[in-house]
């Protein structure tokens, strides 16, 4: 899981604590939060700042079952819960928590609307996402927004945040020029609030590179990625490296793309993000393997693929797709070894592949890929008649 500081992070959903409790003028405000509730909420914010999102979630979920001192305390608890769920990529739960915030009276809904827009986008509920972003923009533009105790910096932050999310939403929807317009809007807002730049500029440059690449301007896209790498925090460099890999792959520079994906994986925190990048490297290499290739060429490609395929599966052990890919690489390598009469090595790879296929089958029992991989291996063995001639039937032996 990505670790982000207690300050506002540079990604869309890390809205931090600026203006996190905005209430109507004249309301009881902070007096509604008891000392005990305040201590619990402060403890949660500390956990978030330390990147201990699971621990923060556990506290907040326990508070769901605990009476709190008032609406304001419950609103703040639900805001924090929605934020933590976004960090943990539990988007359905985030939507539920943020909806609670929006339904509470006498609260500033803007941040919750922007966050829920992002969550809806991540689960491909694009119409709902657009609706929330439009509502947030209306609230920001309305004169009565001044009823809330929000500083100028807080309002500026929300405006940049909204443009940032709308750029991502437009990009997800294929509205590339519109995405660039929103990115330009965010940059213009940052000119009037330079103190916010460190939280946004690098990610806006990254979005720009993705939009430019999708428009076919690879040169400009790569230049934008270079800017991102100069400004991005060390812990976020993996995103820029992965974007550069995707651009290079689109240009047909396979080897360079694989190298960048591996670099991105090595820069990322162990876990799902790292696994995703290793899988991109693995699948890119596997797609280049053809049975018609000379066995030496095929073996070299597979040898390069085995490590990222293995690392994808080990960094996200619950992902059946990654285990399938690793199994396919091992089976293909086994076949190549059999073809060159390296039977002992081939059987080792076959055994490893069979283990991976079992893991994949447990995680993805309805996957056609699993059946196809096993059947493809059987056909490959039948073509050269090696296993039956030299080793009996390891497929049957492996099933015991």
**Of the candidates 275, 270, 222, 230, which has an alpha carbon nearest to the alpha carbon of residue 246?**
222
State the chain's mean pLDDT as an integer. 82
Predicted confidence (pLDDT) per residue in 149-204, tens digit: 555 567 888 999 999 999 999 999 999 999 999 999 999 999 988 888 887 888 99
Cα 286 from Cα 325, distance rounded (Å): 8
pLDDT-derived band at 22, boundaries 50, 70, 90: very low
pLDDT-derived band at 238, boundaries 50, 70, 90: very high
User: Mean per-residue pLDDT for 43-48?
Assistant: 92
Q: Is 2 exposed, middle or buried (0-12, 13-18, 19+ CB in 10 A)?
A: middle
Assess whether pLDDT exceeds 80 at residue 330: yes
Assess whether pLDDT exceeds 50 at residue 28: no
- At residue 153, the pLDDT reads 62
Predicted confidence (pLDDT) per residue in 255-298, tens digit: 999 999 999 999 998 999 999 999 999 999 999 988 888 999 99
Q: Which residue has the higher pLDDT, 53 or 5?
A: 53
Cα 306 from Cα 135, distance rounded (Å): 49
pTM across the whole model: 0.74
- At residue 140, the pLDDT reads 86
Distance of CA 268 to the CA centre of its chain: 11
Cα 158 from Cα 162, distance rounded (Å): 6
Instruction: Collect all residues with Cβ–Cβ distance below 8 Å to 140 and sequence separation of at least 6.
Output: 110, 155, 158, 159, 162
Please state, for a pLDDT cut of 90, what percent of the chain lies above it. Answer: 54
Instruction: Identify the top-confidence range among 133-137, 138-142, 196-200, 357-361.
Output: 133-137
* Phi-psi label, residue 51: left if phi above 0, alpha if psi -120 to 50, beta otherwise: left
Q: Which residue has the higher pLDDT, 89 or 29?
A: 89
Q: Which residue has the higher pLDDT, 4 or 92?
A: 92
- At residue 221, the pLDDT reads 95
Q: Which domains does the chain have, with CATH numbers?
A: 1-145 (1.25.40.10), 283-400 (no CATH)
User: Mean per-residue pLDDT for 345-351?
Assistant: 89
């Amino acid at each position: 899981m990505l670790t982000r500081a207690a300050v506002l992070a540079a990604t869309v959903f890390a809205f931090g604590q600026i203006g996190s409790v905005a209430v109507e003028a004249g309301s009881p405000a902070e007096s509604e939060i008891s000392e005990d509730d305040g201590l619990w909420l402060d403890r949660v914010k500390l956990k978030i700042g330390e990147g201990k999102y699971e621990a923060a979630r556990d506290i907040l979920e326990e508070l769901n079952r605990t009476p709190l001192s008032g609406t304001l305390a419950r609103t703040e608890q639900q805001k924090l819960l929605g934020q933590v769920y976004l960090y943990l990529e539990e988007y359905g739960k985030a939507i539920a928590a943020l909806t609670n915030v929006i339904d509470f009276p006498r609260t500033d809904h803007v941040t919750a609307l922007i966050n829920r827009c992002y969550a809806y986008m991540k689960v491909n509920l694009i119409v709902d996402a657009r609706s929330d972003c439009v509502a947030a923009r209306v609230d920001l533009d309305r004169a009565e927004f001044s009823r809330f105790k929000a500083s100028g910096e807080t309002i500026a932050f929300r405006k940049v945040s909204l443009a940032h999310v709308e750029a991502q939403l437009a990009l997800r929807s294929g509205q590339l020029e519109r995405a660039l317009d929103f990115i330009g809007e965010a940059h213009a807002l940052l000119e009037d609030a330079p103190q916010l730049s460190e939280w946004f500029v690098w990610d806006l440059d990254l979005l720009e590179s993705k939009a430019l690449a999708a428009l076919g301007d690879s040169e400009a896209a790569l230049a934008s990625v270079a800017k991102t790498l100069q400004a991005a925090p060390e812990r976020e460099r993996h995103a820029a490296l992965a974007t550069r890999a995707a651009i290079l792959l689109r240009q047909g520079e396979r080897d360079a793309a694989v190298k960048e994906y591996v670099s991105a994986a090595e820069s990322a925190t162990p876990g799902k993000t790292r696994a995703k990048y290793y899988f991109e490297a693995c699948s890119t290499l596997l797609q280049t393997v053809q049975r018609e290739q000379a066995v030496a060429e095929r073996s070299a490609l597979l040898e390069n693929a085995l490590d990222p395929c293995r690392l994808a599966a080990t960094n996200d052990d619950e992902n059946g797709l990654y285990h399938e890919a690793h199994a396919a690489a091992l089976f293909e390598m086994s076949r190549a070894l059999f073809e060159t009469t390296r039977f002992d090595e081939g059987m080792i790879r076959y055994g490893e592949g069979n283990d991976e296929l079992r893991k994949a089958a447990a995680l993805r029992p309805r996957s056609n890929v699993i059946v196809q991989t096993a059947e493809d291996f059987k056909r490959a063995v039948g073509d050269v008649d090696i296993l039956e001639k030299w080793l009996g039937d390891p497929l049957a032996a492996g099933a015991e």
